[in-house]
Structure 1
């Protein structure tokens, strides 16, 4: 079948309808599953649930990053997946595949086309296969329920311990199966474990344990082992263990078969406890689906309420809220690495993607989980020596640029997160990133320094105050290391570490050492470019080019143009270097001008690439130069042109929800400056929006007089009843104790924000006066 997707929520082609508090009906599980979004449409029973149960699809040599592809054959339903990630697939383990009739060789490809479109809603997924089998699944946080409707006669279900999602990119990031065990327990029950390795984060062997039950007695059950597609043994149902492929085949003569499976990173005993406590025998799909929808409503959806009646917009709002909360995975109680009373989260993919928008929105919507994530990061440092920039299968890796967990901790600190966070340890973890060179893991794609964790290019950073081309991603790392060092100043200042504050505020200005005032592009001069150890800029580089924009290049995943706007803590100085306010406005507008850059056809040949995180902030930078109207113009254009309620509803890879949080902030009408208390003001989508901040506090945002598409420009604004003349607010203004923002919108591009520009804290650190000390 060419494509396969449906959702039980109606969303396409609908004009206006009465809003319902049944929020799950507005979630399109397939939003972001095409156009390179890589979203997972299967079952995630709660925000950040460990189990993500859904289909694994194969289609030629195409990587199925989340397991799902809209076309191709289903070759199993697995318990573990990522969502919205790139690089290479991860997980796709603890798998079942139904087969019509008896199975002669369980090691061969048993994939089946879909006979009709897949169906999904929050907490539920269904596939109908061309062999006449229907598969319906639901799940809890640590267990899953499969319900099979089978054709008449004998049918089989294959449990393949060696099943993993493969990668076809040829970069050495494919997952491996290193062995395991399969132990029948009689009467349709089984348990065992699988050992897997590699994937995008290059992790060594890790183990997942499973415990499964078929609630209908099989007519026969067999075990198998083999190498490749060649069977070594097949029959009698005895236990198997080793490095060969292995598993079990269960044959039934019934039309309805139910399977319950628990998983654990600790033991088979824990896996059995998980399935017994969360999905006892007799549990129905309907009850689990309802339970999942209630959990998502209480934890996420009901936190954001609006009087909007356009169901297309409602589908975007609640689908984005859902999509941003699939990762990371809450594995508290499932940490095999160390004993601790702290929360444990895994599957950060990655803070390079998430620190700009996602983490700040978690604090607003899920403050309890957010504090747990902060504590988990610090605890990972305690036991693994470094916080992760990325982490999965209980292993740090990969660091794409800076040590961006530093930015996440700083953002939490300046916005008042305290609770059970040990901030002395938190700052020590940040200081480790700033001072300790991580051991080189000799990554073949970037062998110069560690890609596992920390800041591999610290030797240059400390010696030169910049990063030479001896290190890969030199310029993008330098810009990010500057932001990371600024993040340390925020916590050092609060903890009273004056010497550290002065040291790191100076280092946070080091991005300036990469600024070449003679470098030109599109009639503008001055860009961040590679710099050699002798202090020269003699590097053959064009600001409109970044070679492959990948691991071995000076810039990672975006152009020099974008990175030249990324010193978000030092904006006043950046504006000065760029030629002053008027020239900065011109430069920004050139960035968004269609047709000026031939390498970006998908976005009208603009230099701006809305599908990559380094450009997230650029539409809002007009606020620093008195042109808030232009921030609205360009950010709203991006929101309406590149986001929608369909399967291609985000502009490229979700990056674990990063894209969703960018558009959500646009809908709210704000943009966070991570590591600072500042939020840049945009324009809200809604006439009325209420965000529950917890503890009886709310942020209420209203608008009148305009609309989101043709008249989105701010004419005036009141904050907490006071007339507002600044293009920014702080955390304390509207989030700390709740607040209210009342917009008047219209079609005219007014210059209403004539007050002081947003803060630029690193720019004020000059002439012996270091910032706010």
Structure 2
């Protein structure tokens, strides 16, 4: 927990000259800093250090644990031993899954059980040293003397194992998965492994962990044929000599080499979420040689443009490393799920095929990523966003539940609440990404208005929300957050509907997007549970998470009354008015950041990174520091954002204050370190904050560039004295996406003292809900 300290102090404004656009060519381009792939692998960042390509299907990485929340990604920096190397991982999530097809290089007697972190020598775990990770490459020296190297193609994991002289083996553990001990009922079904005539090892399993019933298939080839293969069935029962296949639930295979150290042993393994043919086709398409080093070079090259999308000078070395690392983490997911032939598992249980040139994706952590990750990609990777939006439209139309929630490997997990898949669609449309948005509208409309349509836990209480104007706390859990988040999805849907000509639906959704008011008690200025008869929960304590003890669930989603009070992103001026005007709202924000940092015993670990009751380690109020701009006090935004950038992120394994959540925490850092943030992505404007660096160059696509300058910027100059856009003084505390995306120079004059005049006038404040204040 971060110790609170006084920060909200004074300000001053002054304008400085900014270089016009032609000056960009005359300025030396900043060098790219190498990212630190171990940031977030400690603490509760839940990242992994292994090899992958941007948005790639394969994430080949070491696993150190499967049974603790800290190892949701399969890896935790402090564990001290490695189980092996598996091909699929989730980056920064708060729930674990994947870890498919574990490869364990071993020597001596074969061990079939993994052992524990506390006693690694009792299993096939290995202590390790000399660990190194770079984009597209990972290596480590295991205690048994094997040097392991990993790299990747789009759909293939490549391993290179250099054994000491003598014998050795590879264990393929198809029973390896997250929360291995909770195998009741079985978390793995319909598993199979077999060797084909050409020596290819194929296999499959169906997993019922988080994405219930997802399939994974693999096809694995070796640079040298093993001297013999031993299969193990359920209960590690050894199969007869000469067996070429095994079926069951918990399967393993051991590939024996009498002289494993004769030359490096290479493994190339393709995966598919569709079928065996998909895995074999993916392997055939990419595996045309055995040149590990060339694949490694290609993998590194695949990261050049994504990591060059933002280059910075100034700040500290650690801050520059954090910027590049955040760019890396922000471009890991969503992950490719369509095979080389275009087939992918649909959310309707059917196999679909993308159009030529298209792609399908998985791992949409939308409750988190709609806020900053998708807006960041819209800015720095518009071509990728076009691919993602086309895919989201197709999958929205195919899903029986409509707008995407948290799809993983062809299964809608429906994790978290709301149907936030509408937000990136509305944002992309508002920012000029061309797509067939109308194709998604029937599914969006069904989720919005058809209360008999199938749902999951994410959309409970929609009928009451529509009829009463809120979700009652005595009818459904997490009722306060549901009301607010349903209202935001209504807002996004209304904007999208209006853009495609659905005016009546859009008008109804616009009206309903104001339902947030019905769970904000203006008399006390807090988000508060409300019952079906209209009464409020009493006695009320904003630190508490719910009004009833277990087994009843909370009234807020990973938040309490303090944090939920500022959840509103789309109608900030309505919220300000509802809470009594500018002065009261500003005082309430001050109170949020200065309240005692205490939480009840039943608070989830996600509520982390506390500054007062503001929780930076979780998403619901990550925009809250920027709300000061809406009451004409952007100097307080500048002070707090600078503090969050410097205290919540470190160039260290424990360097992300909470789960990175598929890049959302990292995207927040990228935006905020640049000096701007999309409070409401659908509004298509950025609120200005406090840049960390003296200069940043942002590649916008199509040869356009955004230059952000803050000459002489230092740790003791968090305040903005003035702003210029392309050489013209700008008094506003915000800038529209439509202007920024054209390219140009945004120049900040920084100061050690606040300028309370900058952004104070009503006309200088950001728009919200399509209107200015006053």
Q: TM class by shorter-chain length?
A: 0.7 to 0.9
| Alignment match, 1:770 | none
Once the two structures are superposed, what CA deviation does each residue of 1:467-523 show, in whole Å capped at 9, x if it has no partner? 1121111000101111111112212222233322321111011111112234xxxxx
| Alignment match, 1:459 | 463
Shift of 1:699: 1.4
Write the distance in 1 (CA, Å) between the matches of 2:359 and 2:137: 26
- Cα 1:438–1:48 shift into 2, 3 Å: farther
Shift of 1:715: 0.8
5 Å-filtered alignment, 1:46-57, equals 46-57=53-64
* 2:406 paired residue among 390, 410, 422: 390
Shift of 1:678: 1.8
* 2:665 paired residue among 659, 664, 668: 659
Shift of 1:160: 2.2
5 Å-filtered alignment, 1:208-223, equals 208-223=216-231
5 Å-filtered alignment, 1:586-735, equals 586-593=587-594, 595=596, 597=598, 603=609, 606-672=612-678, 673-707=680-714, 709-735=715-741
Uncovered stretches (5+) of structure 1, i.e. residues with no partner: 1-18, 441-448, 519-524, 767-773
- Cα 1:167–1:484 shift into 2, 3 Å: farther
The answer to whether the 8 Å contact 1:528/1:564 transfers is yes
Write the distance in 2 (CA, Å) between the matches of 1:312 and 1:636: 15
| Alignment match, 1:166 | 179
Which range is displaced more, 606-615 or 488-497? 488-497
* 1:283 paired residue among 291, 302, 311: 291
Q: TM-score, normalised by structure 1?
A: 0.87
* 2:501 paired residue among 496, 500, 505: 496
Write the distance in 1 (CA, Å) between the matches of 2:652 and 2:642: 18
Shift of 1:596: 5.8
- Cα 1:62–1:406 shift into 2, 3 Å: closer
Secondary structure in 2 matching 1:377: helix
Shift of 1:221: 1.9
5 Å-filtered alignment, 1:242-321, equals 242-255=248-261, 256-284=264-292, 286-298=293-305, 300-308=306-314, 310-321=316-327
Structure with more relative contact order (C-alpha pairs < 8 Å, separation 6 or more): 2
| Alignment match, 2:3 | none
Q: Does 1:153 align with 2:161?
A: no
| Alignment match, 1:7 | none
Shift of 1:692: 1.3
| Alignment match, 1:558 | 559
Q: Does 1:479 align with 2:484?
A: yes
How many residue pairs match? The answer is 717
5 Å-filtered alignment, 1:328-367, equals 328-332=334-338, 333-337=342-346, 338-342=351-355, 343-367=358-382
Shift of 1:563: 1.4
RMSD over equivalenced CA pairs, Å = 2.8
Which range is displaced more, 72-81 or 474-483? 72-81
- Cα 1:267–1:145 shift into 2, 3 Å: same
Shift of 1:188: 4.8
Q: Does 1:526 align with 2:517?
A: no
Q: Does 1:197 align with 2:211?
A: no
Shift of 1:22: 7.2
- Cα 1:64–1:225 shift into 2, 3 Å: same
Secondary structure in 1 matching 2:614: coil
Write the distance in 2 (CA, Å) between the matches of 1:197 and 1:604: 35
Q: Does 1:433 align with 2:447?
A: yes
Shift of 1:582: 1.4
Shift of 1:663: 0.8
Once the two structures are superposed, what CA deviation does each residue of 1:668-711 show, in whole Å capped at 9, x if it has no partner? 1111021112211112222221211111222111112442x211
Q: Does 1:407 align with 2:414?
A: no
Secondary structure in 2 matching 1:644: coil
- Cα 1:272–1:596 shift into 2, 3 Å: closer
Write the distance in 2 (CA, Å) between the matches of 1:762 and 1:717: 24
| Alignment match, 1:535 | 534
The answer to whether the 8 Å contact 1:54/1:77 transfers is yes
Q: TM-score, normalised by structure 2?
A: 0.87
Write the distance in 2 (CA, Å) between the matches of 1:304 and 1:487: 28
Which range is displaced more, 529-538 or 58-67? 58-67
Once the two structures are superposed, what CA deviation does each residue of 1:143-167 show, in whole Å capped at 9, x if it has no partner? 1111112233221111122322226
- Cα 1:722–1:61 shift into 2, 3 Å: closer
- Cα 1:760–1:310 shift into 2, 3 Å: closer
- Cα 1:349–1:84 shift into 2, 3 Å: farther
Shift of 1:598: 6.0
The answer to whether the 8 Å contact 1:509/1:762 transfers is no
5 Å-filtered alignment, 1:368-383, equals 368-383=383-398
Which range is displaced more, 316-325 or 54-63? 54-63
Write the distance in 2 (CA, Å) between the matches of 1:20 and 1:741: 16
Shift of 1:207: 2.1
Shift of 1:439: 5.9
Write the distance in 2 (CA, Å) between the matches of 1:730 and 1:303: 20
- Cα 1:559–1:61 shift into 2, 3 Å: closer
* 2:472 paired residue among 448, 453, 468: 468
Once the two structures are superposed, what CA deviation does each residue of 1:298-342 show, in whole Å capped at 9, x if it has no partner? 2x1122123348432221111000011111112232403333334
Write the distance in 1 (CA, Å) between the matches of 2:447 and 2:200: 47
| Alignment match, 2:25 | none
Uncovered stretches (5+) of structure 2, i.e. residues with no partner: 1-27, 116-121
- Cα 1:438–1:303 shift into 2, 3 Å: farther
Secondary structure in 1 matching 2:615: coil
Write the distance in 2 (CA, Å) between the matches of 1:551 and 1:77: 40
Which range is displaced more, 472-481 or 309-318? 309-318
